[in-house]
Amino acid sequence: MTRTRTDTQPTRASVGADGEAFAEGHLTRAGMQVLDRNWRCSAGEIDLVLRDGDTIVVCEVKTRRSRAFGEPIEAITRAKLGRLRRLAGRWLAVHEVSARGVRIDIVALHRDPDGNYAVQHVVGA
């Protein structure tokens, strides 16, 4: 039996997509330029790739609606950071982009019931 949602609660996918859009706006307002969104390869996905001056930024966005399972930043493990570093290398290998450096940033968002976000931006995770 298939259930349909009759309430107004956002789906997990829509919370993630909305969070990524919010994070993108937050980062571009901070002066970064978006180079890629939701880039995928056989090793995984990068949420956002940006340029911050002479640096390429690979950004992971984590959005949560509840703190019942901890803060969004706690979902970023050493294994996830390692995967992001490998993905950054793959992205650079297939894109003709020059940069002085590459860094991994994390944008952790908590979305309250009213749709407002608390933002934690970790630069160079």
Domain count, the chain: 1
Q: For 66-106, how does the pLDDT look when each residue is reduced to its tens digit (9 = 90+)?
A: 777 778 888 888 999 999 999 999 999 999 898 999 999 99
Q: For 28-75, how does the pLDDT look when each residue is reduced to its tens digit (9 = 90+)?
A: 999 999 999 999 999 999 999 999 999 999 999 999 887 777 788 888
Whether 39 maps to a domain, the answer reads yes
First to last CA, the chain: 44
10-41 in b/e burial notation, b at 16+ Cβ within 10 A? eeeeebbebbbebbbebbeeeebeebeeebee
pTM for the whole thing? Answer: 0.85
Q: Which domain holds residue 57?
A: 12-122
Q: What is the pLDDT of residue 14?
A: 72
The CATH code of the domain that includes 22 is: 3.40.1350.10
